[in-house]
Chain A
Amino acid sequence: MTTKLFGEPVQRREDARLITGQGRFLDDLGANALAAAFVRSPHAHARIRDVDVSAALDVEGLVAIYTWEDLPGLIAEPLPLLIPHPALTHGRTGHVLARDVVRHVGEPVVMVVAADRYVAEDACALIEVDYELLKPVVGVEEAAEAVNLVHADVPGNIGAHLVQEVPSAAGTSAREAIEAAPHTLAFRLDIERSASMPLEGRGVYARWDADDESLRVYTSTQTSTSVRMAVAAKLGLPLPKVEVIAPDVGGGFGVKIVHPWPEEILVPWAARLLGREVKWAEDRREHFISSAHERAQVHHVRVGFDEDGHVLGLDVNILHDHGAYTPYGIIVPIITSTQLVGPYKIGAYRVEFTSIYTNTVQVTPYRGAGRPQAVFCMERTMDRIAAHLGLDRTEVRAANFIQPGEFPYDQGMTFQDGRPLIYDSGDYPESLRMLKELIGWDSFPAMKAEAAAEGRTIGIGVGCYVEGTGVGPYEGGHVQITSDGRVHVSTGLTSQGQGHETVFAQIAATELGVPIEKVSVVTGDTRRFGYAVGTFASRAAVMSGNAIALACRKVRDKALKVAADALEADPRDLEITDGVVHVAGTPSASIPLATVAVLSNPLRYAFDQEAQRATQFAGPSSDDRPPVEDGEEPGMEGRDYYSPVRSTFASGMHAAIVETDPLTAEIKILRYVVVHDCGKLINPMIVEGQIHGGVGQGVGGALYEKMVYDEHGQLLNASFMDFLMPYATEVPRIETAHLETPSPLNPLGVKGAGEAGVIPVSAVIAAAIEDAEGITIDRMPISPSDLYSLRADTRLRKTQ
């Protein structure tokens, strides 16, 4: 019995091609395609006076040069605003090529198509763009002062403003509750800019088939179905004539959910216009200055609490820097606002955000998507309450936890999916108990004293989070068993390394009772599945996992019905084991699924010997029933969709012990511990991998990574030399433990796991450094230089 695979650490089926160089990433395709390259704005804010391409025209191998003025119809219109929201009163998006004004360094101005990328870049270098410089708006607080405007028609640089109020059970507002509270604190917390930074940049490759009048687009995207709709709409093509495929994608982490990128419109358009294959692969500098960033927010927190640390009122005011454009709406600050409350029962809550334009790269979700900021706010608040009251930090958290018996728990807000923020399940006290045991929380003071005796400075920190995962609206799955016994599974959402081919195959093999070797999975290919949303918000396992399970159950029911006819048995007595349908308890009465698949499709023509079984003279059939009965379809296939009423809420808690160097202020993570609850685990090996990767990115965000803009809007560290992503030497060993509280919302009981690892890391590391140093940490990331300066400031204040 090999077919019960759900929950097992099955080896990845993706690996065989990826470890032998046989993966197919975007730039591995289209060997004969023309290459596109872009002239991008070197200025943060400028008016384009003139574009002079004359010097580039003599470059051998040049095929075409395009500016905004060359663009027809809808392609010349602004890019779509993907997620409109009533609070986003001044949403603005860019053009595929800049029209009149550029609003950040890196905005595309001219597209060049040439024989290869070298030649295309030669031509780009010879194109002269005459700019009239405008005043750049850099820094969210400077932008809020609105001395200069990013968009002339957006007063105050304010794109959106939203207030959410959740009064206490007694009807008291947060501000009233804070005023009336025995204790109050007010402080400011900052998080700086970072970015998804997948190792593979974006890229697009398009083939126009003039004979068939159809377009095939390959793009390194997190959503091929939606790119397809956007490309068809922009190019005015019938949807069935456009197919979009996400090939192997070298990481996404959020940035590739944005679409259509300018290049996703321009490359297919040029391919069609030129009648040639065209490809563009982003280089690293382009990725830094022309894709998307995230994280930067300023938070002003006011909190009122009682003697035990119960939060009676919480009032948070957020300034969100969304860069030059808002193609993805205001999802990031909405998530910060709603997920800030974490695993806690907050007496009364008020959260207000203002989303501000600056002349910098646009801000769209990066793994965690506003949650690292939210958790930084809430957990720093918990630590401040504990410090103020002289209580243990974990006790304050425990005092505020939602209890296991209180689910479903309604937080009284509207979540990022437009649905009520109602937690489905969880066990926060047990998570905390496990975490404290794993890290040795209660014995830490002794350890700290011991270290101090040796002249070493160490500290411990903790951070808790709740993550809404598996947001709707839906995903679908299609399952087909062919007459060779193979099982073909497809789903529309895409993969960027999460192991979907493996986990979806595990689900299908388990549901259908077939060996996993018989199952193949295709994701992100509109030729196979046209309806999908995409891969983001830790939703793939929840959404497509359940959709595939439901589709398998349909196919299984049909297979049992067909097999029951053939075996003259009751379908209720049948089981499927290792790809064979048999009567329970009577293994001899059996029929392979391959044969069932043959029988499910009544044939006139036998294309091979096996197929003869399904032809019209092959065997007994009822004379008064049609070969394909009413309500049935030929073939052993099924399609189903999973559409949840609302998100399912995963949770977790992290703790770390850090050591700080008394002299150099170097920060070293000695231990990092994770307790993680994503409901039922489909493949624990893959979930662990997701957590490791998330924590790795979290460590980058806590200690190393930030986008440094100067006052002119120039990104000063747009390379891997200067934007410091962690190497193996910077990421600590991660110790993990799992708690499984199944989601009651979906058939598999699963919750999302993709983003979890990154979410609380900045909060945890800040807390541990604060504990080590006795210096308040209210801004992340923190470098050794930052800590060194903080120490100096603290000494200065003490001597004054």
Chain B
Amino acid sequence: MSETTGAHRTHAITLTVNGVLREVTVPARRLLSDCLRHDLGLTGTHVGCEHGVCGACTVLLDGEPVRSCLTFAVTVDGHEITTVEGLAEEGALSPVQRAFSECHGLQCGFCTPGFLCTVTAFLRDNRTPTEEEVLEAVSGNLCRCTGYQNIIKAVHRAAEIQAEESG
């Protein structure tokens, strides 16, 4: 469904965000990052470059990491989105979230939501990653604070927590 207001055609779309059905009307050019942040008030997803390089805006689209700054909201009508706000399950921090805090894998925290989403998908698909695989997994996200060492440590620690808890 679409309607016209002024010069800009808008489109009503339905997204399942963090398990909740959300209906929103957006212009065709609205970026998914802006839709999440400004239309849906989920400001945990951050925008660091708006050209798809830094990875801060990474969210999970049907479980897979995507750059929400390179995605038009209208193109994901009907799909499932997970943002950083949806990583904790029933109020309990996920293994990835806990590991990042435990290992001091964040400083200013601006890039962190992108890393958390990326790593969540990575460790779902690869529960026992090697050093090389971890490095590869986080090598599409920029962090200007940590020098990455503790982020890498956190990914290994998250895998460990995940293994312990799935017992």
Contacts and interface: CB of A to CB of B under 8 A. Distances in A.
Interface of A: 11-12, 14-25, 27-28, 31, 60-61, 116, 118, 197-200, 248-251, 253, 283-284, 496-499, 685-686, 688-689, 691-697, 719-721, 725, 727-729, 731, 733-734, 757
Contacts, number: 176
A24 B110 CA distance: 10
A253 B144 contact: yes
A14 B150 contact: no
B129 interface: no
A23 B106 CA distance: 12
Nearest to B136: A729
B106 A18 contact: yes
Contacts of B107: 251, 497-499, 689, 693
A142 to B, nearest CB: 31
Contact of B38 (A11, A12, A31, A727): A31
A19 B7 contact: no
Given A727-B141, A727-B142, A19 B112 contact: yes
19 contacts: A12-B101, A17-B109, A19-B97, A21-B42, A21-B43, A21-B83, A28-B37, A199-B54, A199-B143, A199-B145, A250-B46, A689-B104, A692-B147, A696-B144, A719-B49, A720-B54, A728-B141, A729-B135, A757-B147
B134 to A, nearest CB: 9
A497 B110 CA distance: 9
A568 B43 CA distance: 54
Given A497-B145, A693-B145, A729-B136, 6 more contacts: A19-B93, A20-B93, A118-B29, A251-B110, A253-B144, A497-B107
B66 interface: no
Nearest to B110: A250
Contacts of B41: 31
Interface in B142-163: 142-152
B101 A15 contact: yes
B116 interface: yes
Nearest 10 A/B pairs, CB to CB: A21-B44, A497-B108, A250-B110, A18-B109, A696-B147, A692-B147, A497-B107, A28-B43, A720-B53, A21-B84
A728 B145 contact: no
Contacts of B109: 14-15, 17-19, 23, 248, 250, 497
A23 B7 contact: no
A284 B33 CA distance: 15
A209 B136 CA distance: 50
A694 B85 CA distance: 29
Given A21-B85, A27-B47, A284-B50, A731 B148 contact: yes
Contacts of A757: 147
A631 B56 CA distance: 53
B102 A11 contact: yes
B111 to A, nearest CB: 5
A728 B139 contact: yes
* Of listed A12, A20, A251, A685, residue having the most chain B CB within 10 A: A20
Contact of A25 (B110, B116, B138, B148): B110
A409 B136 CA distance: 48
Contacts of B148: 692, 696, 727-728, 731
Nearest to B83: A21
Contacts of A199: 46, 48, 54, 56, 108, 110-111, 142-145
Contacts of B113: 21
Nearest to B152: A728
Contacts of A23: 44, 109-110
Interface in B49-80: 49-51, 53-54, 56
Given A14-B109, A20-B44, A251 B144 contact: yes
Contacts of A729: 135-136, 139
Given A118-B27, A720-B142, A249 B51 contact: no
A756 B159 CA distance: 32
A284 B47 CA distance: 9
B100 A19 contact: yes
Interface residues of B, number: 58
Q: Which of B48, B54, B109, B142 has the most CB of A within 10 A?
A: B109
A18 B129 CA distance: 25
B88 interface: yes
A15 B115 CA distance: 14
Contacts of A15: 100-101, 106, 109
B108 A20 contact: no
A20 B149 contact: no
A238 B35 CA distance: 39
B104 A686 contact: yes
A12 B106 CA distance: 9
B150 A692 contact: yes
A19 B38 contact: no
B19 interface: no
A757 B140 CA distance: 23
Contacts of B141: 727-728
Contacts of B167: none
A61 B7 CA distance: 11
- Chain A CB within 10 Å — which of B29, B108, B146 has the most? B108
A717 to B, nearest CB: 12
A14 B105 CA distance: 12
A60 B6 contact: yes
B52 to A, nearest CB: 9
Interface string B117-144: 0000000000000000001101111111
B140 A727 contact: yes
Nearest to A122: B7
Contacts of A61: 6
Contact of B151 (A498, A697, A728): A728
Contacts of A249: 108
Contacts of A695: 147
Contact of A693 (B44, B87, B139, B147): B147
Contacts of A16: 101
A678 to B, nearest CB: 17
B88 to A, nearest CB: 6
B7 to A, nearest CB: 6
A720 B42 CA distance: 25
Contacts of B45: 21
A200 B48 contact: yes
A649 B133 CA distance: 41
Nearest to A495: B108
A731 B152 CA distance: 11
A693 B47 CA distance: 21
A727 B139 CA distance: 6
Contact of B144 (A20, A28, A725): A725
Contacts of B50: 283-284
A484 B109 CA distance: 31
Nearest to A117: B34
Given A697-B144, A727-B140, A720 B49 contact: yes
Nearest to B38: A31
A18 B104 contact: no
A725 B140 CA distance: 12
A725 B146 contact: no
Contact of B85 (A20, A251, A496): A20
Contacts of A689: 104, 107, 145-146, 150
Contacts of B53: 719-721
Contacts of B47: 27
Contacts of A60: 6-7
B46 A200 contact: yes
B146 A696 contact: yes
Nearest to B29: A118
Given A118-B29, A248-B109, A720-B49, A733 B43 contact: no
A728 B138 contact: yes
A731 B148 CA distance: 7
A496 B109 CA distance: 9
Contacts of A696: 143-144, 146-148
Nearest to A287: B49
B100 A284 contact: no
B140 to A, nearest CB: 7
A251 B145 contact: yes
